[in-house]
Structure 1
């Protein structure tokens, strides 16, 4: 059995590569998908498809439409969502993706540091598993295959 795992969360650090490398080392039968990690492309995709927009608000609206389309398709095809809340970056997109996973009835592993326990308490209770580290998430993923 092979699983497709959607990796939701900030795109500025290498946490996805860490998960991919550790999964490969354990020979887990998983394929990973996730948001567009090229921030400039993500911001520009609306204008690439629709043409130049009259201002930044319209530019963001156009880009978000296509980013939401991409996310929805990939999430619906995923068997499992892993959402990481880091300590450094704003986490609005992570919250949106984790909430979408819950709404879609997708199994969800939430990674969040202890410091974010309180602000994420409701979302943690809606997830299937809440962990504090990438290593713990890998162990949870590996357990599925035992």
Structure 2
């Protein structure tokens, strides 16, 4: 079950830092690089990281900057909190803080552009380095960036796993058509990685007792093996 993550909690803890680590695999074995793209308002990245850790999969997770304030303003949270304290006598919004690294812009479009350009350096580099790109779409926000990441990954020939609730399947049919796997829960992403990397399958099928092997349900695929 996904939990909503408070935006300030994400910012103050840097959200998913513990996800961005790798499992120490045995010498000579492949470390799979998995990029986690998508919404930052729920704990889906943490659930995937926990699952990978429990299964001890040789996976290194990367992601975009999961701090909304930092991503918008490319700034240090410490600086942000200092400014909030200094200006505690008035309301301070994300947009008021300014682009700390490059300086403020007079127009919102320019402000957004310098942040987007800086974020793209990280995104392009990590997507290119990834073996697998997981793209998460949530119900609450329209994730244009996630859709762009999926298209970029597809253009690079990357293996894509999409992750979203069933209610979004129709809207994302073109994105899903470019994906190798379409998941509804973070646990399915972990199980997919376990199968791809080690050939491991879950002990219990998703359909539980209703599961029927394909040969029993639809007949053998090759009648003359």
**Normalised TM-score (structure 2):** 0.62
Please name the residue that 1:3 is paired with.
32
Please name the residue that 2:91 is paired with.
none
1:36 to 65, 86, 92: 65
Q: For residues 37-56 of structure 1, what are the alpha-carbon distances to aligned partners after superposition, in whole Å with 9 as ceiling and x for unaligned? A: 11111111282332121122
Please name the residue that 1:87 is paired with.
139
Q: For residues 85-130 of structure 1, what are the alpha-carbon distances to aligned partners after superposition, in whole Å with 9 as ceiling and x for unaligned? A: 1112221111111111111111101112111111111111111111
Q: Max radius of gyration: which structure?
A: 2
CA distance in 2, matches of 1:31, 1:140: 15
1:27-106 equivalent positions in 2, closer than 5 A: 27-45=56-74, 47-106=99-158
The answer to whether the Cα contact below 8 Å between 2:47 and 2:187 also exists between their aligned partners in 1 is: no
Alpha-carbon offset, residue 131 of structure 1: 1.5
Alpha-carbon offset, residue 79 of structure 1: 1.1
For structure 1, which segment, 133-142 or 20-29, has the greater mean C-alpha deviation from structure 2 after superposition? 133-142
CA distance in 2, matches of 1:87, 1:52: 33
Q: Specify which structure has the higher proportion of strand.
A: 1
Secondary structure in 1 matching 2:71:
helix
1:26 to 46, 50, 55: 55
Q: Specify which structure has the higher proportion of helix.
A: 1
CA distance in 1, matches of 2:132, 2:50: 18
| Unmatched tracts of structure 2, length 5 or more | 1-29, 76-98, 199-225
Secondary structure in 2 matching 1:22:
helix
| Unmatched tracts of structure 1, length 5 or more | none
User: Aligned Cα RMSD in Å?
Assistant: 1.2
Secondary structure in 2 matching 1:50:
coil
CA distance in 2, matches of 1:43, 1:85: 20
**Normalised TM-score (structure 1):** 0.95
Alpha-carbon offset, residue 17 of structure 1: 0.7
* Length, aligned pairs only: 146
